[in-house]
């Protein structure tokens, strides 16, 4: 039995499609069942590069956006480059699946603005070539390249590596009510199609950041999650194969523990957080708050394992919602910090059923 979630949240659940299906199949099956539609779009990611002086390559891959009958976004189904072990890169690329690669993210933003996500590999970069006043160049193995007027490479369209159509991160729209119904409908269909848990799989919960936008709440949050973070990872069963996790920099606690930070207005406190140059690749992501992101203004919990069980996700959501509500009480954590994680859970506004789930 789960507690009703009252915080607006979004979910990211990493899964793997069975051979020979893809993330597109899940999106289209859900659309057929619910009378919705699917749009293909560009999904932006970064991956490590072996090229000197270019630590990462930015790339665009196929994402599929599920819309309901009224055209409202329900969820997206995208690639996640952290999911590697379950894919056989040695097999041939699936026909029609490609990626666009560049060493400058600004170029890919031009592609997203000017190129058609439904176009074929041979056509996709023509508008970009036109912007640079050059002709699209074709190469062996199905590659197409755009160069500038000096012949310097700008972007490449290349076949997707073997089985890269199988990774499927379900990214839900923000959910304000009926979290169980919304999430269950997605995961039950994934189960029915034979989707599985990737070896590196994770679940991320995005909590609407607006209730946390005060220096006091942020100081409480950093103190609570910084202190009990390792125990929380153990409690929820973090996947040891997950990548891109880790603690916050020590400078964050030094900043938020200061009396001067707690006395700041929120705009000043947010700017102080932004000055730390935080990263999203940690156990609890504060970057979207620090940068005042318009697209995703959230506090992100990144330590949960992947699952096809909606109740597991919702019990975790209830746990973290309760802890966040505790952080919003200005003086509680400052005056009476809990001696244990168990005490914090007991003090938080969490139902008895959820407390028993985590501490029973």
The whole-number pLDDT of residue 359 equals: 84
pLDDT band at 140 (very low <50, low <70, confident <90, very high): confident
Helix (H) or strand (E) holding 113: helix 105-114
The whole-number pLDDT of residue 245 equals: 96
Q: Minimal CA–CA distance to 123: which of 111, 133, 113?
A: 111
What is the distance between the alpha carbons of residues 99 and 156, in angstroms, rounded to a whole number? 8
Token pair recorded at residue 105: 């993210």
The whole-number pLDDT of residue 55 equals: 58
Cis peptide before 20 (omega within 30 of 0): yes
Q: Mean pLDDT throughout 233-253?
A: 96
What is the distance between the alpha carbons of residues 248 and 344, in angstroms, rounded to a whole number? 20
Asked if the model's pLDDT at residue 25 lies above 90, the reply is yes
Identify the residue whose tokens are 């920099």: 249
What is the distance between the alpha carbons of residues 180 and 296, in angstroms, rounded to a whole number? 22
The whole-number pLDDT of residue 2 equals: 59
pTM for the whole structure:
0.95
pLDDT tens digits for 335-358? 778 999 999 999 999 999 999 999
Strands 9-16 and 202-208, bridge-based pairing: antiparallel
What is the distance between the alpha carbons of residues 302 and 247, in angstroms, rounded to a whole number? 11
Listed in sequence order, the residues at least 6 apart from 168 whose beta carbon sits closer than 8 Å to its beta carbon are 14, 15, 16, 17, 22, 23, 26, 77, 78, 79, 190, 195
CA 12 to chain centre: 5
Asked if the model's pLDDT at residue 209 lies above 70, the reply is yes
Alpha helices (H) along 125-178: 126-132
Alpha helices (H) along 165-214: 179-192
pLDDT tens digits for 276-289? 999 999 999 999 99
Question: Are 278 and 252 in contact, with CB atoms under 8 Å apart?
Answer: yes
- Beta carbons within 10 angstroms of residue 282's beta carbon: 20
Using DSSP's 3-state secondary structure scheme, residue 294 falls into coil
pLDDT tens digits for 80-130? 999 999 999 999 999 999 999 998 899 999 999 999 999 999 999 999 999
Token pair recorded at residue 273: 């957080």
pLDDT tens digits for 31-54? 999 999 999 999 999 866 666 666
């Amino acid at each position: 039995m789960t507690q009703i979630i009252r915080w607006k949240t979004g979910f990211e659940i990493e899964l793997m499609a069975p051979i020979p299906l893809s993330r597109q199949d899940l999106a289209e099956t859900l659309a057929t069942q619910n009378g919705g539609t699917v749009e293909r779009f560009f999904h932006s990611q970064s991956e490590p590069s072996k090229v000197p002086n270019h630590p990462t390559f930015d790339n665009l891959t196929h994402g599929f956006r599920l819309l309901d009958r009224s055209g409202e976004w329900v969820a997206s189904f995208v690639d996640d480059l952290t999911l590697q072990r379950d894919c056989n890169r040695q097999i041939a690329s699936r026909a029609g699946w490609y990626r666009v690669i560049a060493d400058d993210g600004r170029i890919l933003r031009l592609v997203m603005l000017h190129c058609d996500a439904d176009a074929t590999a041979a056509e996709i970069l023509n508008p970009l070539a036109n912007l640079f006043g050059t002709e699209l160049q074709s190469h062996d193995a199905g590659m197409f390249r755009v160069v500038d007027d000096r012949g310097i490479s700008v972007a490449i369209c290349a076949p997707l590596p073997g089985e890269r159509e199988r990774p499927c991160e379900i990214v839900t729209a923000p959910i304000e009510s009926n979290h169980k119904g919304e999430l269950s409908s997605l995961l039950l269909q994934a189960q029915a199609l034979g989707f599985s848990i990737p070896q590196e799989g994770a679940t991320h919960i995005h909590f609407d950041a607006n209730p946390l936008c005060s220096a006091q709440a942020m100081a409480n949050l950093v103190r609570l999650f910084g202190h009990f973070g390792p125990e929380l990872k153990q409690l929820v069963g973090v996947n040891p194969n997950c990548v891109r996790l880790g603690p916050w920099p020590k400078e964050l606690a030094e900043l938020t523990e200061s009396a001067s930070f707690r006395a700041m207005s929120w705009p000043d406190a947010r700017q102080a957080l932004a000055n730390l140059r935080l990263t999203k690749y940690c156990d609890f992501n504060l970057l979207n708050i620090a940068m005042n992101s318009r697209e995703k203004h959230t506090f992100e919990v990144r330590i949960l394992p992947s699952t096809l069980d909606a109740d597991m996700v919702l019990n975790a959501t209830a746990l973290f919602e309760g802890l966040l509500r505790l952080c919003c009480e200005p003086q509680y954590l400052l005056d009476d910090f809990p001696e244990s994680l168990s005490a914090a859970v007991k003090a938080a506004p969490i139902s008895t059923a959820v407390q028993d789930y985590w501490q029973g």
